[in-house]
Structures are given as structure tokens and as C-alpha cells.
Amino acid sequence: MREYFADILIAEVEEFIDLRDKRVLDVGGSRGEFCKVISEKRACRASNLDPAPYEHGSYDSEFIWPDTKIGNADNIPFQDGEFDLVICRGVLEHIPKEKQQASVNEMFRVLKAGGICYVAIPLWFNPFAGHGLKPFHYLPFRYAKFLAELAYKKKISARSWEEKQLFGITFAMMRRMALSAGFKILAVRDTHFRMHFLCKIPLLREIMAPTTVFILTR
């Protein structure tokens, strides 16, 4: 599945730049599986950044990308303009709201002029955006937790959205953060269903695409 979505990422990014031999950063990349695929397919020099890579599950429990740094998206430990491609897939919604803009700003900072930033997020009003609390995440936390435990027959230990590390992002919020950081929006895509026209319709784009991708440049 990771390779499938890595192939989609490569195809979408290469509409704008050739990835061969490029410098790539995966922000919040878990154990670095995307770095592995992209490096193998395009001979990229890829770096992985994650606050706790060894704590994530993996299709190969022994695997971790060799060029992995411990760090957070709001304080990326790389130089200005170091990367041709910055990836951030399924990460921003797990960053506290007060650090989301700083994280987008940091991705802008480490991206080269003319480079691509690829940000994938589940928009909050999509039924799948609630992770372990879907589709009840629209409700206040205690009600969402109660219904999810009832539906899935399992205990949820978190006592708040903060403990669950889930902070919703809407299309408007992501667009505003990207523009505030200085990015230009090249395209917005529906990663799963590939019905990209949904991303142009204000109401439908918030609820119909399980994962929405913003393709940005500076």
C-alpha cells in the first residue's frame, strides 16, 4: 500500500519536476518507507524526519531508513533551501493547532526555490478523518469516544483530542496556512478516488475525498 501511494506521489510530483537525483525530505515519515521507495525508483537522496520512528509499526519491523533524523515538523533540523521535494503525508492533523502554521513555515524554509511541497491531509469533515474515532469525530470528544468504543468493541485510553493527538484541518485552513507561509498552490488532488474535480467544489471537497493533497511550490 505504501508503494502504491509512493507511485502516485511520484507521478503527481513529476508533472512539475523530474525527481531523478533530487534531494527529498519526508516530514513525519515514520520509519522511512516512502524514502526507500522514492530512492529506489528515482535515485533520490532522501532524508526521513520523525519524532519517534522506532515506535511506529512497519511491514518490516526491523526496517528503518538509514538517513533518519529525530525531530519535529515545527523545528526541522536542516538548512534553508536544502530540498527539491518536501513530503508531509498524514502528519499535520496530528500536530497541535498552535504548531501547525510553524510546521508549514518550516517546510517552506527548507524547500528550494522552484521545489515542490506535497502535503496530504484527511479533511476534518470527511467521514474517514477521525482515525480510531471515525465517523464520530464530528462530536465532542467524550461522545465520539463513547460511540467509537461501542461500535468497535475496544477501549480508547485517550481522554481528549490532545491525548489522541488528533487536530482537525479543513480545506480553508490548509489553504490559508500554505499561502501564509509563502507557498503558491499548483494543484489540489483527490489521492484515493482520483476524482480531482471534487477538490474544486467547496462543500464536496470537505467531505468526499478521504485524503486531499496540496501540491505547493515556492
Segment 23-60, tens digit of pLDDT: 999 999 999 999 999 999 999 999 999 999 877 655 55
In the chain, the percentage of residues whose pLDDT exceeds 90 is 81
Specify the 3-state DSSP secondary structure of 86. Answer: strand
Give me the residue label for grid cell 461501542. 150
- The β-bridge relationship of strands 68-70 and 45-50 is parallel
pLDDT of the residue at 3: 83
Contact by Cβ (8 Å): 50, 70:
yes
- The half-sphere exposure of 160 on its side-chain side, counting CA atoms within 13 A, is 3
Count CB-CB contacts under 10 A for residue 140.
9
| Banded model confidence at residue 146, pLDDT cuts 50, 70, 90 | very high
Q: In b/e form, how buried is each residue of 143-168, taking b as 16+ CB within 10 angstroms?
A: ebbeebeeeeeeebeeeebeebebbb
> Above 70 in pLDDT, residue 61?
no
Secondary structure of residue 115 in the 3-state scheme: strand
What's residue 207's pLDDT?
86
Tell me what pLDDT residue 206 has: 86
**CATH superfamily ID and name for 2-125+168-217:** Vaccinia Virus protein VP39 (3.40.50.150)
Residue extents of the structural domains in the chain: 2-125+168-217, 130-164
- Tell me which amino acid residue 124 is: W
Identify whether the C-beta of residue 58 lies closer than 8 Å to the C-beta of residue 86: no
pLDDT score recorded for residue 56: 66
Strands 184-190, 68-70: parallel, antiparallel or unpaired by DSSP?
A: unpaired
User: What local confidence, expressed as pLDDT, does residue 129 receive?
Assistant: 92
pLDDT category at 137 given cuts 50, 70, 90 is: very high
User: From CA 87, how far away is CA 32, in angstroms rounded?
Assistant: 11
pLDDT for position 205:
86
Structure confidence by residue, pLDDT tens digits, 74-131: 999 999 999 999 999 999 999 999 999 999 999 999 999 999 999 999 999 998 899 9
- Per-residue pLDDT, averaged over 188-216, amounts to 86
- Per-residue pLDDT at 15 exceeds 90: yes
